[in-house]
Amino acid sequence: MTRTRPAPVVAPERPADKIRWSRKDLLGLQELSRGEIELLLDSTDSFKEVSARDVKKVPALQGKTIANLFFESSTRTRSSFELAAKRLSADTVNLDGSTSSTEKGESLTDSARAIEAMQIDTVVVRHQASGAANLLARVLDAGVVNAGDGVHEHPTQGLLDIYTIRERRPIEGLRVCLIGDILHSRVARSNIWGLTKLGASVTVCGPPTLIPAGIEELGVAVSYDLDAVIGDQDVLNILRIQFERQHGGYFPSIHEYAVEYGITVERLAAADPDVLVLHPMPMHRGVEIAADVADGPHSLILDQVTNGVAVRMAVLFHTCVAR
């Protein structure tokens, strides 16, 4: 069964070259205009070129200090924000939530204010609570960049996904399917906001229990039947099953989930021969994605990781300079 989509929420905008970035924070793609998203994507091109040089460093943020506050585990986002800051010549300080004073009962805002008192320019925060980045943006003069907050948004992941697709296909009119655990996915939300603003046609597909009620209001189509929609897609963005956020049985078993929604080579045979496959990682091989798809010719998964550094350079540059 497929639920239909209301009219897309895309407004005509000034071209990106006429847009100036004026935000000290990046909290989500929901609040960005199409022009602001395009500005970040266009800037990413030049920052990607820096990472391809022998000397991967430019003085763009020399003298600035960026704090990475990670209260939730991360491999890619944390290391790529740190690399991005270093490639822009900023100083960095890293705070691990599990070894910070929040473990002794200190509040998030007191921790962040203490870090800010050391003359920090921008705070990058990942937190298990939706809204944590918005809270810090309200109480800090420093810029705040959301590195993933609960089930709300993961804007730099959304940007790097869109950038990776845009390197190969124009986004306007592209058919993109987000597959799996939409309910618990901040990556899905950022993809939906970003892709629909840029004119893509987005479908979300997964078990009914993992699709939020009313998500059509965001301008997406809904399907519970992957085999019915896979042939109509240009891009498959496969989401991780967020076992750590699931309290209760959202599907009968992992095996049954894999049978219904796992992307295998056999299932991919029904897709467009040029279909692009993305996954934000970490991934459960053999559950939402088969190993030979993850490592196969359609996969852009490692390109996503590479592009993550350049996207985060663009975000840190614009938010730091806007302060």
Kindly state whether residue 148 participates in binding ligand CP, applying the rule CB under 6 A. yes
Among 65, 68, 157, 203, contact with ligand CP (rule: CB under 6 A): 157
The answer to whether 322 and 24 have CB atoms below 8 angstroms apart is yes
Q: Is 150 in the site for ligand CP (CB under 6 A)?
A: no
> How many residues contact ligand CP, by CB under 6 A?
11
Neighbouring C-beta atoms of residue 120, cutoff 10 Å: 22
Q: Cβ of 292: how many Cβ atoms within 10 Å?
A: 12
Residues 6+ apart with CB under 8 A from 76: 281, 305, 308
Smallest separation, CB 156 to ligand CP (Å): 9
Closest to ligand CP by CB, 154 or 184 = 154
279-308 residues in contact with ligand CP (CB under 6 A) are: 280-282
Amino acid making up residue 173: G
Residue 74 CB, shortest distance to ligand CP, in Å, is 3
The dihedral built from the CA positions of residue 130, 209, 194 and 8, taken in this order, carries a sign that is: negative
**Among residues 112, 106, 146, which one has the least CA distance to residue 129?**
146
Q: Which is nearer to ligand CP, 79 or 89 (CB)?
A: 79
Torsion from C-alpha of 196, 211, 126, 105, nearest 10 degrees: 150
Residues 116-145 that bind ligand CP (CB under 6 A): none
What minimum distance in Å lies between the beta carbon of 55 and ligand CP?
A: 26
Scan residues 74-113 and list those touching ligand CP (CB under 6 A).
74-78
Query: Of 224, 233, 146, which Cα lies nearest the Cα of 186?
Result: 146
Residue 132 beta carbon to ligand CP: minimum distance, rounded to whole angstroms: 15
Instruction: List residues binding ligand CP (CB under 6 A).
Output: 74-78, 148, 154, 157, 280-282
